[in-house]
Structure 1
Amino acid sequence: MSNFLTVAEALNHLQQHVSSIDDIETVSLTEAHNRVLAADQVATVNVPPADNSAMDGFALNFSDLVEGGTLPVSQRIPAGQAPQPLQPGTAARIFTGSEIPVGADTVVMQENCTYVDGGGQVTIHKAPSDGAGDNVRPMGQDIVSGEVLLHKSQRLRAPELGLLASVGIAEVSVYRRLKVAVVSTGDELIEPGVELQPGQIYNSNRYLLAALLQGLDAEVIDLGRAKDDPAEIEALLRRAAAESDCVLTTGGVSVGEEDHVKPVLAKLGRQEFWKIAVKPGKPLAFGSVCDTPFFGLPGNPVSAFVTFALFARPYLSVLQGSNFCAPRRFAVKAGFEFSRPRKREEYLRANLEIIDGELTAVPLENQSSGVLTSISRAEVLVVVLVNETVVVGDVVDVIALESLF
C-alpha cells in the first residue's frame, strides 16, 4: 500500500493547504451560538464588580467577632442594593450576591447564627473556620478588567456566550457562516417517503452530512442526487463550486465503471490525494473543483461518517476561521482482541463498560461500513494503528462519538 497516504500524512496535507475565509460580520449574542470569533474579546469590567457575599448571613469585621457573642445589626443589604459603610462593632444582614460593605471583611452563614427577623441583634454561635475573608467573593475573582476573555478563532458555545454576557458584551465580530454544497451520487438512491423498488436504497448520506454540517453551523447547500451520469455530475459540481466555499460528494470515488466523480474531478479541477490507509473509508478524494475545495467521500454511510469526522471536519473548521483540530483521543482498556495486523488504520465502533474496575472499550459485533446502526448505537471509535495487534487488557485510544456531531 505504498501509494496510500497514512491518516497522519493526509491530515498534515490538509492542514498545510487550508486557510480561513476573510468575510467578517457583527452579530448579537443571541445569533452567535457556534459561530467563530474573528477578534479577541477583552473584558472591560471586573467580575464580580465588587466584593460580594457567597452566603446568606451576616457581614462583619472579623476583629469584632466573638464566638457566642452578640452584635447589633446596623443595616440590611439585599442583592442589587448598594450598602452603606459598616458601622464599627456591628453586623449587617446580607444575602447571597450582595455587595460587602466597606468595613466588613467576613460573612458568617445564617445557620451559625441566631437572629429574629426584624430584630436588632445577632448572636454568633460558630466562628468561620477559615478566619477573616470567609464566604467573601472578592472583586475580580472570576474576571479582571483588561484581561483577554476569549481569543480569535474560538468557537462560541453556550459557556462562552454566558461569559461574554457577564462582562456586558452584547455583540461580537465573527466569521460569516461557511457555505458547503452537498451532492449525493448513485442511480440506486431514492428519498425517504418513496416506496423502495428493486435495486434501490434510501439516501441516508444526504441527511447524515447535512446534520453534521449544521452541527458546525455551516450553511448547507443541498443539491440532491446526481445520477451515475458524467454530464449530470459535471453540471452539479460546477454549480456546487460556484455557490459554495467547499463541495462534498458521496459515492463515485472508487474504481468501478459507474464511479464517475473522480474523472469529472480530473476534468474540472485537480485531485491532491485519493487513497488513504484507513478503514472504513479508503477511497477519499480531496482536491478542488473550479478552484473550490472538494471532498469526495465514500458512499457507504459509516465510511462517509468516519472520513468526514477525521478529515473534512477539521478542514472545514479552519475554513470557518477556527483551528485545525483532529478528533481528541483518550485511553481506555481493550475489551477485545485484534490478532491479525492490518495495513490500514482501523476505527472500530464500540461502547464503554466498566470491567474489573477499568473503563473498557467493547466493539459492536457488526463492523461493516454499511451498517449505520453501528454509529447510532456506539459511544466511541476505537483506533487500531497500522500493523498493531491488540489483546484484552491492552491500552487503546478512543474518540468519543459525541464530540464529532
Structure 2
Amino acid sequence: MVDWSGGNDRGPKPKADAIWVCAARDGVADAPVYLRNRALAEAWITDFINAERAAGRRVLAGFDFAFGYPAGFGKVLTGSDDPFAIWDWFAAHVQDAPDGNNRFDLAGQINGLFPGIGPFWGNGLKRDIANLPRKGSARAGHGMAERRQAELQAKGAFPVWQLSGAGAVGSQVIMGLPSLARLRKRFGKDLCVWPFEAQNAPIAIVEIWPSLIAKVIAATQPADLPKDAHQVFVLAQTLSRLTPDQLTAMLDVPINPEGSILGLDHVSLLTETVLGPPPLRNDCFAMPQGTHWTPVDQALTHLKSRLSVVVNDETIPLDQAAGRYLAAPVTAARAHPPAANAAVDGYGFAGPAPDGVQVLPLVQGRSAAGAPYAGDVPAGHALRILTGANLPKGVDTVVLQEDVTATQNEVRFHGPLKKGANARKAGEDMTQGQVILETGRKLTPADLGMMAAVGVGQLRVRRRLRVGILSTGDELRTPGSAIDDGQIYDANRPMLHALACDWGYEAVDLGQAPDDRERLGQILTEGAARCDVILTSGGASAGDEDHMSALLKDSGSLALWRIAMKPGRPLALGFWGQKPVFGLPGNPVAAMVCAMIFAAPALRVLAGGTWQEPQSFQVPAGFTKSKKAGRREYLRARINNGVAERFASEGSGRVSGLSWATGLIALNDGAQTIAPGDLVTFIPFSSFAA
C-alpha cells in the first residue's frame, strides 16, 4: 500500500507528509518504509514487485490517489475516453525533479483547453498562473462534474480538481499517474489495472482511500508513528488478511473508466478485519492424500505452512509488555548512548596522548551524569569527568583516575593513550530510528530494558492468546474429590493448564466433558466463545467413545492425524465455532509430549510469534537401547553429570516419569542402536516455552 505525495523531496529524516509504503503477507505487515521523493518511491516499488514475482507471489499494489477523472475529461485532453490515454499524456508532459515540478503550470495549460474557467484550481505558488484560479469559487462554465461517482459515494472524499490547501488530492493525481503509466509499460501483460481491466494478471494495481476506515485507523494509531505511515500499515495488513473469496468479491465491479476506490462497498468487512485477527482456513489441518502414518517432520512442516496469527493488536505501556508478542517493529526513539560519554571515572582531554609523562592543566569544574559541563575544554587541557557523563566539546579521550596524579590545577599520567580511549561514541549501541526488534518477537525482560534505554514508552503487541483446556471422558474426576472403582483423577487438565501459562498464554479452564456428544458440543461452543484456541485431551482417536473426533468430523473440519511417533500417535485437529481445536491423546504422557511437540510451536504462531523449533543439545547417552525403524521416539530424560539418563520405563502409563524428567531425548525415525557414550539429542522442557 502506498501513501503518495505531490510535493517536493522531503529530506532524509522521515516526515509525516511524505511517501510511505507498507507491504504485508498473510496478515502480517512489514514496517512502513519512508521514501523521500517520487523517483525513489517508483524505484522501490519496481524492485519490490520484481522480487515478489521472482519468489512466485502475486502482488496487489494500492495507491491513495484517483486513477481517473470525471467523465468527459479525457475527451477534451486527449480526444479519447481511454483512461490510459490520460495516464500517458501526463507521463509525457509532467516535469518532475526532487526540488520542484510543473504541476501548477500544467494544470493552467489544461484549464485553457476547457470553456469558461477551470476545472483545476488551487495555485499553490506565489506567482500567478494563467487560467489557474487560486480559489474554487472563481471557476465557472468549464463543463466538468465536480466529483467522480466514487467521491460522491465516499463521504468526505475531496474532488480531483483541488491542487493545494487542506485535503487537496489533485496534485497527487497529476504527479502519480506518470508513475503508474511507467509501471504499466514496464510490466506489460503481467500487470492489470482495477477497475479499468479484467483482473487476470499476476500484478494488480488498485486505487485506495484509507479514510474509508478512518475511525479504526485512528483508534489504533501508535504515538510514535506518523499517520500516513500507520494508515498504509493498517490497510496493507487488513487487505492481506482477507480470504481469496472476500478479496475477489471486493474486486468484482464493472469496468469503470472514471476509476473507483477499492472496498467502497465493503467498509464493514474492512473494519471488522482491522479490529479482529484473520480467520484460519478450515482446511489448514488437512494433510495431503496418502499420508496414513505421518512422520513428525512432515506434520510439523504442514502446520508451519498453514497457521497464522488469530489474535488482534493493542497498544500497551512498556512495563506491561513482558512475555507479549510484538505486532509491529520497534524503532529507537533516541540514540544509545544519546551523546558521547565517559566509560570510566577520570579526566577527559583531546587525544591521543603520546608516549611519556603527560602534564595537562585542569579546567575548573567537572562533567557528571545528568550534569554535563557546559563549556569547552581548550586543547592541551583536561577536565574532571565521571562515568556516564557527556563529553564536552574539546574532549574525546578519558584517562582513568587510578592512572593519574592530580592536584587542584593539573593532572599527570604516563602515555601513550589512544584517541577515544575509555569513551563511548554517540549511538554506538543503537541509533535513532533504528529497528531494534522485529514483529513476532516474544518480549523478554532484557528487551524491555533495551527499549527503555532508547525512550520507547508504548508499543504495539498482540493480545494475549486465550487457550481453553478441556478434558473428556466419563471416567475422569477432579483431583481431591471422591472416586469410585473404574474412575481416575484428571491429570491432563492441570498439566496442560500449567503448560499454557508457562508458555505465556491466558489459560481458560473449560472443565471436564462427559462421553455425551451433545453436552461436549455445548461445552465446545461455550469455549469457542471465550477462547482463541482449545486444547482437549481424550477422544482423539476413532473408537466408539471418541466423541471429540466424531464432533469435529460432523462439523466438516476434522483432520485425524496418525503420527508416526511414540508416545502419541492420534491427533484430532479441527475447528469449532471457527476456533482451532487440538485434540490430544488421553494418556497424560502422550498428551504432554504431543502438546510440546505440536501445540507449542503452533500456539506461538497463533499468538503472533514466529514458528520456532525447540533448542536441543547433543549429549552422551548414559543408557543402552535398540530402536526399530518407522517412527520418532521421545524418551523422558534428564541430565546427570553431563550424561543423558532416561526414565526406567518407556510405558506411556508411567506419569511419574514426566515429573522425574527435565526434558526429552528425541530418537529419529530410522533404526538405531544406542550404547553408553553415543551422542543423543536432548530437548529441555524449558525450550518449548522459549
Q: Could you tell me the TM-score, scaled by structure 1's length?
A: 0.90
Alpha-carbon separation, structure 2, partners of 1:17 and 1:211: 27
- Please tell me whether the aligned partners of residues 563 and 571 of structure 2 are also in contact (alpha carbons under 8 angstroms): yes
* CA drift at 1:225: 0.6
Question: What is the one-letter code of the residue matched to 1:368?
Answer: G
371-380 or 94-103: bigger deviation:
371-380
- Residue deviations 1:28-52 (CA, integer Å, cap 9, x gap): 1122111111111122321101111
- Please tell me whether the aligned partners of residues 349 and 395 of structure 2 are also in contact (alpha carbons under 8 angstroms): yes
Q: 2:670 aligns with which of 387, 395, 405?
A: 387
* 2:368 corresponding residue in structure 1: 78
- Please tell me whether the aligned partners of residues 351 and 361 of structure 1 are also in contact (alpha carbons under 8 angstroms): yes
* 2:397 corresponding residue in structure 1: 106
* CA drift at 1:257: 4.2
**Paired residue secondary structure (2:557):** strand
Identity fraction in percent: 39
* 1:124 corresponding residue in structure 2: 413
Question: What is the one-letter code of the residue matched to 1:348?
Answer: L
- Please tell me whether the aligned partners of residues 268 and 290 of structure 1 are also in contact (alpha carbons under 8 angstroms): no
343-352 or 374-383: bigger deviation:
374-383
**Paired residue secondary structure (1:265):** helix
Question: What is the one-letter code of the residue matched to 2:385?
Answer: I
The residue correspondences of 1:272-283 to structure 2 (distance < 5 A) are 272-283=559-570
1:177 equivalent to 2:461? Answer no
- Please tell me whether the aligned partners of residues 354 and 415 of structure 2 are also in contact (alpha carbons under 8 angstroms): no
Question: What is the one-letter code of the residue matched to 2:605?
Answer: V
Question: What is the one-letter code of the residue matched to 2:341?
Answer: N
- Please tell me whether the aligned partners of residues 309 and 327 of structure 1 are also in contact (alpha carbons under 8 angstroms): no
* 1:5 corresponding residue in structure 2: 294
Q: 1:329 to 1:30 in 2, by over 3 A?
A: same
Alpha-carbon separation, structure 2, partners of 1:69 and 1:153: 54
368-377 or 102-111: bigger deviation:
368-377
* CA drift at 1:342: 4.2
Alpha-carbon separation, structure 2, partners of 1:203 and 1:220: 17
| Higher percent of residues as helix | 2
**Paired residue secondary structure (1:58):** strand
Alpha-carbon separation, structure 1, partners of 2:506 and 2:567: 27
Q: 1:330 aligns with which of 591, 611, 617?
A: 617
Q: 2:658 aligns with which of 361, 369, 375?
A: 375
Q: 1:209 to 1:126 in 2, by over 3 A?
A: farther
* CA drift at 1:296: 0.4
Q: 1:125 to 1:201 in 2, by over 3 A?
A: farther
* CA drift at 1:319: 1.3
Between 1 and 2, higher relative CO (CA 8 Å, sep ≥ 6) is seen in 1
Q: Which runs of 5+ in 2 are unaligned?
A: 1-289
- Residue deviations 1:355-378 (CA, integer Å, cap 9, x gap): xxxx43222223333434433332
64-73 or 217-226: bigger deviation:
64-73
* 2:455 corresponding residue in structure 1: 168
Question: How many residues are treated as equivalent by the alignment?
Answer: 397
* CA drift at 1:127: 4.8
Q: 1:388 to 1:72 in 2, by over 3 A?
A: farther
* CA drift at 1:123: 2.7
* CA drift at 1:306: 1.3
**Paired residue secondary structure (1:62):** coil
* 2:573 corresponding residue in structure 1: 286
Alpha-carbon separation, structure 2, partners of 1:297 and 1:245: 17
* CA drift at 1:61: 2.3
Q: 1:95 to 1:270 in 2, by over 3 A?
A: same
Alpha-carbon separation, structure 2, partners of 1:78 and 1:201: 68
Question: What is the one-letter code of the residue matched to 2:393?
Answer: V
**Paired residue secondary structure (2:603):** helix
Aligned-residue RMSD, C-alpha: 2.3
- Please tell me whether the aligned partners of residues 462 and 607 of structure 2 are also in contact (alpha carbons under 8 angstroms): yes
- Please tell me whether the aligned partners of residues 205 and 301 of structure 1 are also in contact (alpha carbons under 8 angstroms): yes
Question: What is the one-letter code of the residue matched to 2:571?
Answer: L
Q: 1:120 to 1:292 in 2, by over 3 A?
A: same
Alpha-carbon separation, structure 2, partners of 1:309 and 1:8: 14
Q: 1:388 to 1:111 in 2, by over 3 A?
A: farther
* CA drift at 1:258: 3.3
1:44 equivalent to 2:333? Answer yes
Alpha-carbon separation, structure 2, partners of 1:212 and 1:167: 34
Alpha-carbon separation, structure 2, partners of 1:86 and 1:208: 66
60-69 or 200-209: bigger deviation:
60-69
Alpha-carbon separation, structure 1, partners of 2:587 and 2:415: 68
* 2:387 corresponding residue in structure 1: 96
Alpha-carbon separation, structure 1, partners of 2:446 and 2:556: 41
Alpha-carbon separation, structure 1, partners of 2:572 and 2:393: 68
1:399 equivalent to 2:686? Answer no
Structure 1 stretches of 4+ moved >6 Å: none
Question: What is the one-letter code of the residue matched to 2:687?
Answer: S
Alpha-carbon separation, structure 1, partners of 2:337 and 2:655: 49
- Please tell me whether the aligned partners of residues 269 and 290 of structure 1 are also in contact (alpha carbons under 8 angstroms): no
| Higher percent of residues as strand | 1
**Paired residue secondary structure (1:270):** coil
- Please tell me whether the aligned partners of residues 469 and 493 of structure 2 are also in contact (alpha carbons under 8 angstroms): yes
Q: 2:321 aligns with which of 27, 32, 38?
A: 32
Q: Which runs of 5+ in 1 are unaligned?
A: none
253-262 or 218-227: bigger deviation:
253-262
Q: 2:549 aligns with which of 248, 259, 262?
A: 262
- Residue deviations 1:30-77 (CA, integer Å, cap 9, x gap): 221111111111223211011111112221223456644433332322
**Paired residue secondary structure (2:636):** strand
